Structure 1
Amino acid sequence: MAVNKDLKLPHDGMVLVSDGRKALFLKNQGDDVFPNYQVERVLTAGENPQTRDMETGKPGIRGERHTIAQTDWHDLAERKFATEVADEINVVGAAAAIKAIVVAAPPRTLAQLRSHFSDAVKQKILAEVNKDLTKHPVFEIEQHLTGRA
């Protein structure tokens, strides 16, 4: 769903901004006309070293039929973190006070999150944004999502 100037997140609406290493849970303390996003919670993944630093031995026999694929520990850690974030939004989103949720994440993370959202959360999703906004300050996230510059 594309974000545009018509996105109206109601008071107490939730915004989840996530990537594979960080998640921001923002709550609209304003209203749908004058939003005021405030940070409710920040989750960060534990240290995630480079895959080459995590290897314990030789990757296996290299030949035409005996190649063993190298495990991408970094990818596994990001998938695990996305599952943890989805579990958290499932708990928060189950509250009756949360009427609408906007999710912003890079496409791969968004797909991981989406696969773990509860039905209750899926029903409350107002918009999904395929973009990494985790490194932006809150006021820029607000501007991006509402289309106000």
Structure 2
Amino acid sequence: MPLPNQALVLVLDGRKMLFFRNHGDANQIDLRTEAHDERADAKDSEMKTDGPGTTAQSGGYGRPAMDETDFHQQAEDEWVKEAADELKKRVLQNDFDALAIVAPPKALGVLRKSLHKEVERRIVATINKEMSGRPIPDIEALITSETAAAELSAV
């Protein structure tokens, strides 16, 4: 489905959250930045206080270490959940009728689990790609090609 006029576009990864509004129409996308936010990535020493834990073995020598928690991934997941909360707030204010989401696979999976039902209903395109560091014309070209391909496959 082509991206309609005034559709909201979210470009997201574990560190950046960019909101764009389509000021063009279904034939010519014209994205303009509406809001952006970036989180600072904390150092390991700021996130951890101890080393990994260990468990006792029933046989053999040594004490194997338990898998260490990935604090960076936890921080990224929380950031993506904040984006879902922002979308919920916007949809309940009736800020958009159509939504396109561009995010890498891991962020997209976390986001999908956190979306409000009304936000899910308004999604017109989901693109599984890292684009948060790319210029706006690249994002517009990606959305145009993906929505055109989806429209062709629907026929």
Alignment TM-score > 0.5, same fold: yes
Contact 2:15 2:41 in 1 (8 A): no
Aligned identity (percent) is 31
Q: Aligned-pair distance for 1:93? A: 2.6
Letter in 2 for 1:37: L
Any gaps of 5 or more consecutive residues in structure 1? Answer: 1-6
Whole-Å Cα distance in 1 between the matches of residues 41 and 51 of structure 2? Answer: 24
**Among 27, 30, 48, the residue aligned to 1:33:** 27
Q: Aligned-pair distance for 1:54? A: 3.4
The structure, 1 or 2, with the larger RCO (C-alpha pairs under 8 Å, 6+ apart) is: 1
Letter in 2 for 1:60: G
Contact 1:12 1:97 in 2 (8 A): no
Residue 42 in 1 paired to residue 40 in 2?
no
Letter in 1 for 2:47: M
Whole-Å Cα distance in 1 between the matches of residues 100 and 76 of structure 2? Answer: 21
**Among 139, 143, 146, the residue aligned to 1:145:** 143
Q: Aligned-pair distance for 1:52? A: 6.1
Letter in 2 for 1:55: K
Q: Aligned-pair distance for 1:64? A: 3.5
Q: Please, what TM-score do these two structures have when normalized by structure 1?
A: 0.85
Q: Which one has the bigger helix percentage?
A: 2
Matches within 5 A, 1:54-73: 54-61=47-54, 63-64=56-57, 67-73=65-71
> What RMSD over aligned residues (CA atoms) do the two structures have, in Å?
2.0
Which shows bigger deviation, 101-110 or 139-148?
Answer: 139-148
Letter in 2 for 1:45: R
Q: Aligned-pair distance for 1:71? A: 1.5
Q: Aligned-pair distance for 1:68? A: 3.0
Compare CA radii of gyration and give the structure with the larger one.
2
SS of structure 2 residue aligned to 1:102: strand
Provide the aligned length of Structure 1 versus Structure 2.
141
